[in-house]
Homo-oligomer: A and B are copies of this chain.
Amino acid sequence: MLSRKTKYGLKALSYLARCEEDAPVQISVISTAENISLKFLESILLTLRKAGFLGSKKGKGGGYYLLKEAKDISIAEVYRVLEGPIALVPCVSLNFYEKCDDCPDEDKCSVHGLMIQVRDSNLRILENTSLEDLINKI
């Protein structure tokens, strides 16, 4: 299951991508438009800024804006920043690998192969979907 944090983050990014102008958008505007708690959204946007997706401006006329073009932001990147690993188990994660403490030998684990299949299929989708794709769907 996707956390609200990730879902809200994706919706906020989509909102910004739909604002074609470069003018910064205030948190409160996004929060109202997308029905997201203002303070929660604030912390999410902060995370996205630190991760390099967003720029910000303080003071009057300030707000957040995309640093890259929507077509150059893959959902997989956003997912990893907000949600963490795309894989279902750490032992098949490419970016967050961890050994399972219950498995003496990964190759003999009956679940391992399936988990790789699921990971690859999800990767294929998330890496090949951009923010632009999200807002261009009908």
Contact = CB atoms under 8 A, between A and B. Distances in A.
* Interface size range of chain A in the complex: 35 or more
A88 interface: yes
Contacts of A11: 102, 109-111
A10 B2 CA distance: 22
Interface in A1-34: 1-2, 7-8, 10-11, 14, 34
Contacts of A124: 121
A129 interface: yes
Interface of A: 1-2, 7-8, 10-11, 14, 34-36, 75, 84-85, 88-90, 101-104, 109-111, 113-115, 117-118, 121-122, 124-126, 129, 133-135, 137
